[in-house]
Chain A
Amino acid sequence: MDEYSILVVDDNPDDQVLTVRALKNASKNSPVIVLEDGQEALDFLFGGENKGSRSNLDSLGVILLDVKLPRINGLEVLKHIRSSPLTNWMPVIMISSSDEPSELVEAYRLGANSYITKAIDYLEFMDQMTLLARYWLTVNKVPESGTVREL
């Protein structure tokens, strides 16, 4: 089957470019979907007015969710993802500029699979993204498309 796609939710255009660049460097074949804020992410996952959610969900391998997002922040998006039976199995990695301990604790409390502080050193950041892509797309197994709904 096709490679799982990676969903990146980040409001900062610089970070979007850099993250996509690092992910492409790490896993050339995985499609990367970039969304700008929490509301868009929820629409994408649960179906807004114009987007069908099923196909989106089926191909998704991992979500990289920035903590600080306009309107609906990353932690709230995470809460929604964990509270819906459609998505509660989905690996969600919180990525943040800060290393504020309270934020870290809250992210795990809400069910994040991982929490990454974006390194300022770009080489280090690329290492982080490479490790992430390798682990969540190759090493780790997620349920086959459709099985969650069927079971």
Chain B
Amino acid sequence: MGRWRWRYWPLKAKLLFPTLFTSTLGIVLVCASLIVVENENYREQLESELQVIAGILAEQSAAALLFEDHEQLSNIISSLRKIETIKQACVFNASGVLMSALYSSDDTSCTNMKAQPELGFVGDYYRLSQPVTLYDDTVGLIYLISHLEVLKAHIRTFIFLALGIGVLIQLILVFVAFKLQRVVSHPILELSGAAERISLAHDYTIRAPVYGNDELGRLGTTFNDMIGTIEQQNRRILESRDGLERIVEHRTSQLSLANKELEAFSYSVSHDLRQPLRAIEGFGRALEEDCERLLDETGKDHLRRIRAASVRMGGLIDGLLVLSRVSRQPMESKRLNLSEMLQDIAEELIDLSKPLPTEVHIQPDIWVVGDGRMLRIAFQNLLENAWKYSAKEQVRLIEVSATSGADYITIAIQDNGVGFDMRYIDKLFVAFNRLHTPSEFGGTGIGLATVNRVILRHHGKISASSEVGEGARFCVSLPVGD
């Protein structure tokens, strides 16, 4: 049904239909009014003709009526036969007696007619009464009845004629309107066709043909100008995209080259730097065992220091490798239960550590999104730190809690250890920077740098706050994810 609505009509129909509708309406109205006017005119003409006839008849028949000359009256009335339209004529004398009649089969019809005073156009007839006067005396009355066949025939002919002319004009109008609408609709259809082709094929080299310099012509020109602009912009976008792609490709290859080099580097670090260390450590040990008797206490102490240094350097290399690995490893994001992971780490630490009363409170069901292995490295470091720096307290207290925000979840790790001086906070997360001496607490100075790297790669934030002797508090904020 909706398809028949005006807005679904094609443009041609929209242009053609109103024109034809208006012209048809006009022609019909003109024809109708012509017919009405013609009808009126003809009636008036008929009426006046009849009146003239009646007047002449009255004058001619006045004397005959006065003298009651029937023969004369009949002659006069009979002359009416020549007039086609007269259906009936009745002549009465002054006292209302029917004196003569025409076409009347009996007297009663004339008598009836006299009783009906209705005159003018009645039904299919026109009735007229004409008093007959002689020297201002009424001597009789003439009734004339005319049938309207002639009038009707005339009007009918007129209607046919008018309709014929109307149809002819309408046909001419249809032809002209059709030609005219083509003049208007053709450029629009061409324009819309061009627009459709462009939108379908995304081919901005297509142009719409322009006809003339009227509004439609200007529309076509403007449209072409717009498409030209789009084409240019498109080309520019494509060019700059290609340029960007080339740059990205170049950078990516550079980056992957750098990554490969880094990988090779860290592989040789892990392989080749460890080996001599192992030799130093191993032969130190062998020396200690095999030549025990040749060495005095000072010699043994020197050996121990050499071996300890090798082990420490091994730890540094390991730490650096982990740091480089968390920086370049591909990340995979998963939703994971951090509380379980922390509990795991804490249990391992409890197993390893010296017997010290330890209380670890980990808020259950902390869920985060991130790379499990990397987060494990980060939180292992944080918990180990908390563990290490609270080793000299009476009771070790570690508390992990989380607060959820709209975009971030913040995990706080609080210990009751020695804490640190807030003046040096800017060195806290930088590799090889330590806020305690190795004799106080062991460590490589790489742990928190690694933690920082992991959290940064998760687009998170890490902060720390402390007072000397009051424990430390590390806050890790991780994006909640989708």
Contacts and interface: CB of A to CB of B under 8 A. Distances in A.
Interface of A: 12, 14-15, 17-18, 21, 68, 96-101, 103, 118-123, 125
Nearest to B322: A99
B317 to A, nearest CB: 8
A101 B321 CA distance: 11
B283 A12 contact: no
Contacts of B286: 18, 21, 122
A12 B321 contact: no
Contacts of B321: 99
Contacts of B276: 14
Interface in B324-338: 325
Dominant secondary structure at the B interface: helix
Interface in B246-304: 266-267, 270-272, 274-279, 281-286
Nearest to B315: A120
Contact of A14 (B266, B272, B282): B282
B278 A120 contact: yes
A18 B275 CA distance: 11
A105 B271 CA distance: 16
4 closest Cβ contacts across the A-B interface? A120-B314, A98-B270, A14-B279, A122-B285
Contacts of B310: 120
Contacts of A97: 270-272, 274-275, 278
Residue among B266, B271, B277, B325 with the most chain A CB within 10 A? B271
B174 interface: no
A79 to B, nearest CB: 19
Residue among B266, B275, B282 with the most chain A CB within 10 A? B282
Contacts of B313: 120
Contact of A96 (B271, B281, B285, B318): B271
A120 B285 contact: no
- Chain B interface bracket (under 10, 10 to 19, 20 to 34, 35 or more): 20 to 34
B274 A122 contact: no
A28 to B, nearest CB: 15
Contacts of B66: none
Nearest to B325: A101
A103 to B, nearest CB: 8
Contact of A121 (B266, B283, B311, B325): B311
A120 to B, nearest CB: 3
Contacts of B284: 122
A148 to B, nearest CB: 34
A32 to B, nearest CB: 16
A103 B115 CA distance: 135
17 contacts: A12-B275, A14-B278, A14-B279, A17-B283, A18-B278, A18-B282, A18-B283, A68-B271, A120-B281, A120-B310, A120-B311, A120-B313, A122-B281, A122-B282, A122-B285, A123-B285, A125-B278
Contact of B275 (A14, A17, A21, A125): A14
Nearest to B290: A21
A15 B271 contact: no
B282 A125 contact: yes
B270 A120 contact: no
Contacts of A98: 267, 270-271, 274
A36 to B, nearest CB: 15
A129 to B, nearest CB: 11
Contacts of A122: 278, 281-282, 284-286, 307
Given A21-B286, A98-B267, A99-B321, A121 B274 contact: no
Contacts of A119: 278
A21 B284 CA distance: 13
A121 B271 contact: no
Residue among A15, A96, A98, A100 with the most chain B CB within 10 A? A98
A103 B275 CA distance: 17
Contacts of B277: 120
Nearest to B276: A14
Contacts of A118: 274, 278
Contact of A15 (B272, B278, B307, B325): B278
A116 to B, nearest CB: 13
Contacts of B314: 120-121
A97 B277 CA distance: 10
B295 to A, nearest CB: 17
B22 to A, nearest CB: 85
